[in-house]
Amino acid sequence: MKTFMSALQQRKERLRACAQALLPIGGKPGHDYVFIARNSTAKAKWAHLLKDVEKALESLQ
């Protein structure tokens, strides 16, 4: 159970960091965003994760 919780926490932290990096650039003021982490989020390369989040934000424009 401890391993599952640490993996979950790691995914949340990585998505939070992506949001902090990209929402000021690609997000709309006054809007809320929900990010859902998949299992691969914890192990994805940082550049790939940033690109995926950026692409998701662009699709909302």
4-58: per-residue pLDDT in tens?
Answer: 778 788 888 888 999 999 999 889 899 999 988 888 887 889 999 999 999 988 9
DSSP 40: G
What predicted TM-score, i.e. pTM, was given to this entire model?
A: 0.75
Domain containing 14 equals 2-59
Ramachandran angles phi, psi of 29, nearest 5°: -60, 140
Q: What is the C-alpha separation between 42 and 7, in angstroms, rounded?
A: 7
The pLDDT, as a whole number, for residue 61 is 79
Q: What confidence score (pLDDT) does residue 46 get?
A: 92
Q: How many domains does the chain have?
A: 1
Phi-psi region of 30 (alpha: psi -120 to 50; beta: other; left: phi over 0): left
For residue 22, what pLDDT is reported?
93
